[in-house]
Structure 1
Amino acid sequence: MGHADTLLAMGGAFLAAAFFARLGNRIGLPTIPLFTLAGMLLGPHTPGFVLVEDAHDFEMLSALGLVLLLFYLGLEFHLDDLKTGGRRLALAGGSYLLLNVGAGFGFGLALDWGIREALVLAGVLGISSSAIVTKILIDLGRLGRPETRLILGVIVVEDVFLALYLAALQPVIGGAHGVAEVLFQVTKAFAFLLVLAATARYGTRLIGRLIHVRDDELLVISFLGAAVLVAGVSELLGVADAIGAFMVGLILAQTPSAARIRRLVHPLRDAFAAIFFFAFGLAIDPGDFAAVLVPVAVAATLTLLMNVAAGLIVARLYGYGPGPAADIAATLLARGEFALILAAMAATAGLDERLAPFIAGYVLVLAVLGPVAAGRAHLVVRRLTGGRTPDGPDDLAPVEAPERTTSA
């Protein structure tokens, strides 16, 4: 692709993503599946105008979008978050993950696409979209509810699990041969994570002094360079580049410059994350959906059932009634960016070609179903309880879960 063609494709991709996002906002849909849909419609696999002939032309931009997405997530995460929630929060988040990740792995084995594919599907079906979940809570005006802090606490537990899961999964799906090599790669990955985690825990004063500058331009260059460099080192060590970026965000989140960095990186994250989802859509052939329609329907139904079960369990731990339980189950239903990250990893590793269209279809279904279900969960509860929506004990104390400010 020539210089002019690259600029035209980039500009067209940004404008197409913006158009679909505005359209989605009008009808109340989240942007993530719409960015992917834009890539599918303007890619080489659909009739009509083709903006980008080869998805690989956007490979570097897509990688930068992924790095910024996880870097921002790290900025939003704090090491003290889990301490704030206590054991009960860990039990609530663990219960949610156990049901959904376990069901996803079992579903993957039942499909018989391969053990590595089943491990990818475990993560795809098991982890909610923090971006879509937070947007749902903001749009519905539920940030002040006690169960909302529990929902955000579960998202925090999922973030921790995601970092560890990606670090362990990368060597397994990346072509390591034999148990010894897999164990070596996993050990190396976790050792690298431990070094970064120790830096986040004990080196923040030094990092804070090094990163602190008054000029916003210099600060952007500094944190962007650190995120991209550590992401590259991660890739060399067999750890997903996104996890390296996440850990840099985690480290910088403990510094006095954290608030400024969050403000400055926000537009960069939104712009390049849109390109990441758009580029994923470019690689999807809608003709492949026919072969995965039944698995997508089964997976979406399974996720809905597991979320209902998890919502009841999590609500019971905190003494909540059917109303908050339904809100928890419906709000955490959406899947989005993390599923697409796993899909990108699977494509890079050369796993079963059916994974990409399956994950795209699954994300599209649940990213649309999630907001709809969250907005109508109370209606279902009213029907089941004869018009009442009991929320639990009147003297229930506020949930001890951390607040989050992640935006979609």
Structure 2
Amino acid sequence: MTKRRIRLIGHADTLIAMGGAFLAAAVLARVGGRIGLPTIPLFILAGILLGPHTPGVVLVEDPHELEMLSALGLVLLLFYLGLEFSLDDLKAGGRKMVLAGTVYLILNVGAGLGFGLVLGWGFAEALVLAGVLGISSSAIVTKILVDLKRLESPETKTILGIIVVDDVFLALYLAALQPILSKADGMGAALLDGAKAFGFLLLLALVARFGTKVISWLMNTRDDELLVISFLGAAVFVAGISDLFGVADAIGAFMVGLMLGGTTSGDRIRALVHPLRDAFGAIFFFAFGLSINPGDLPSVMWPVLAAVVLTIAMNMLSGIFSARVYGFGSLQAANISTTLTARGEFALILATMAAGAGLDERLSPFIAGYVLVLAVLAPLAAGRSHWLARILPVGRDKDKDPDQEKISVPA
């Protein structure tokens, strides 16, 4: 069946694509809300249905047309996450946070590397798969926490701590992996890139720790318009600088949120960023859907399913370990396990690197299928985590029955 393609002149095609993406996401989200489905998989489904790889109308011919809006969506999602996560949380987490994050990485990255070696696609491919299976999606995790109104749940700070540890590891891992895939520059260049990335993260952390008064003064204004322009400009600018230093742009935005969350304008910024976060976050997931070609998935169906089962198992083990470290019950362990199962934007970055390096052509459809399944499964599982809580070998909460969990925190 030939797809009908919308062709317009000048900027009209871009505007139609943007407007159509927003409307499609809104319509599917409303339908999903009526039947109890989370928004993330529906936004992705809208991108798949209106992209160039499925029958019907092609709203967006090239996913790169929405690349900048998608990047802005990711930046705003992580910026908001930083606003909700203070340096006091990091300090309070301390050794427990590092321990939980490290065990999460050992289980998931180790399982990913072993899985890649067993597949037999090649050693470089196994290194890519280690990162794909090992790193959770900060964007999807954030959206799950917001949608389920769990930002103030006791286990959320543990989840965010693990995400922070994961993202620091990711920055170093990407820097080390690039010269290996390109077969150039050697280990010295990899170590230098890793040192640059870590140094930049350390600089941002120091600014967040000691520069609060100066940042509060810079952001202090009674005009909401000026405040929006100021925090949006800071988040996007630092995100771009982060990318230059080998740190994921979203992590730079997270650090800006961390800086601004503790200022005198923090509460106003949280309120003002809500509509921007929701709108452009939807575009991020829509654009993700555009990149998926369902026709490529059957050829890698069994490896994808095996990887999904392996990831679920490793996340359950990690959730149980984290719950015991923090003294949580089975419900919190289940929430940690299911929420962190999501894979997304960082896996796609690795897929792009693998394609550019000329690695096994099965990697791209495998990563797309794996990410799609978990991007759909994680929000569904997180919303029903009390089912998992019944079977986890962790003590139950004394204060709550998992079936009666009710958390009412404004999103």
**TM-score under structure 1 normalisation?**
0.82
CA drift of 1:97 comes to 3.7
SS in 2 for 1:2: coil
CA drift of 1:72 comes to 1.6
Matches within 5 A, 1:3-402: 3-85=11-93, 87-88=95-96, 90-113=98-121, 117-126=125-134, 127=136, 129-131=140-142, 133-134=144-145, 137-138=148-149, 149=154, 151-174=155-178, 175=182, 177-317=185-325, 323-324=330-331, 327-328=334-335, 331-332=338-339, 334-336=341-343, 339-344=344-349, 346-347=351-352, 350=356, 352=359, 354-370=362-378, 372-373=380-381, 391=396
Q: Which has the higher contact order (CA 8 A, sep 6+)?
A: 1
CA distance in 2, matches of 1:362, 1:123: 13
My pick for the range that moved more, 4-13 or 228-237, is 228-237
Letter matched to residue 351 of structure 2 = A
Letter matched to residue 347 of structure 1 = T
CA distance in 2, matches of 1:48, 1:99: 42
CA distance in 2, matches of 1:356, 1:232: 26
8 Å CA contact 2:125–2:363 kept in 1: the answer is yes
**Percent identical:** 60
Aligned in 2, Cα 1:10/1:116: closer, same or farther, shift over 3 Å?
Answer: farther
CA distance in 2, matches of 1:242, 1:390: 36
CA drift of 1:345 comes to 5.2
Q: Is there any run of 5+ residues in structure 1 with no aligned partner, and where?
A: 397-402
CA distance in 2, matches of 1:404, 1:206: 34
Letter matched to residue 335 of structure 1 = A
Between Structure 1 and Structure 2, how many residues are aligned?
Answer: 387
Letter matched to residue 255 of structure 2 = M
Aligned in 2, Cα 1:133/1:108: closer, same or farther, shift over 3 Å?
Answer: farther
SS in 2 for 1:45: coil
Q: Is there any run of 5+ residues in structure 2 with no aligned partner, and where?
A: 1-8, 401-406
CA distance in 1, matches of 2:332, 2:85: 25
SS in 2 for 1:155: helix
CA drift of 1:315 comes to 4.0
8 Å CA contact 1:66–1:276 kept in 2: the answer is yes
CA distance in 2, matches of 1:72, 1:9: 26
Letter matched to residue 200 of structure 1 = A
Instruction: Compute the RMSD of aligned alpha carbons.
Output: 3.3
CA drift of 1:92 comes to 3.9
CA drift of 1:68 comes to 1.5
Aligned residue for 1:400?
Answer: none
**TM-score under structure 2 normalisation?**
0.82
My pick for the range that moved more, 86-95 or 177-186, is 86-95
